Amino acid sequence: MDPTTIIIAATAISIGIILGAAGLGSAIGWGLITSKALEGIARQPELRPQLLFNMFIFAGLMESFPFIVMAFALWFLFANPFLG
C-alpha cells in the first residue's frame, strides 16, 4: 500500500472518531443543561419561560465546542492537510 492510501484511510478513521467524540460531548452537555433546567422548573414552575429561555442560550453557547471540533473534522475531510 502506498503512503497516500494509508494517510487517506487513517484520516477517514480519525474523522469518524472525531465526530463520534463531538456527538458524545454534545449529547452529554445538552443532557446536563436540560436536566438542570427541568429541575429548576420543577422547583419553581412559575419561572418556566425564563428557565427555558436561558437554557437555550447556554446550550447555544455550549454547542460551540462540538462545532469547533466538527469544523476541524470537516477541514480534514475536504482539504486534508496530511496529504503532501
Partner 1 sequence: MAVDHGAAEHLSHTKITLAGLTFHQDTMIMSGLAIVGLFLFIFVTTRRLTAGVPGGAQNFMEVVVEFIENTVRENLPVNIPWITPLALTLFLYILFGNWLGEIPTLKSPTADINTTVALAIISFIILVFYSIKFKGIKGYSAEFLFHPFGKWLIPVNLFMKVVEEVAKPASLSLRLFGNMFAGEVMIILIAMLIPWYFNWSAGVVWLGWHLFVGIIQAFVFTILTVVYIAIAQQQMEEH
Q: Which three cell numbers stand for residue 57?
A: 442560550
Within 10 A of 63 (CB to CB), how many other CB atoms are there?
Answer: 15
Which residues lie closer than 8 Å to 70 by C-beta, 6 or more apart?
A: 18, 19, 22
Nearer to partner 1, 21 or 68 (CB): 68
DSSP state of 79: S
- Of the candidates 3, 45, 60, 81, which one interacts with partner 1 according to CB under 8 A? 60
Asked if residue 70 binds partner 1 (CB under 8 A), the reply is yes
Nearer to partner 1, 1 or 78 (CB): 78
Least distance from partner 1 to the Cβ atom of residue 38, Å: 19
Least distance from partner 1 to the Cβ atom of residue 42, Å: 24
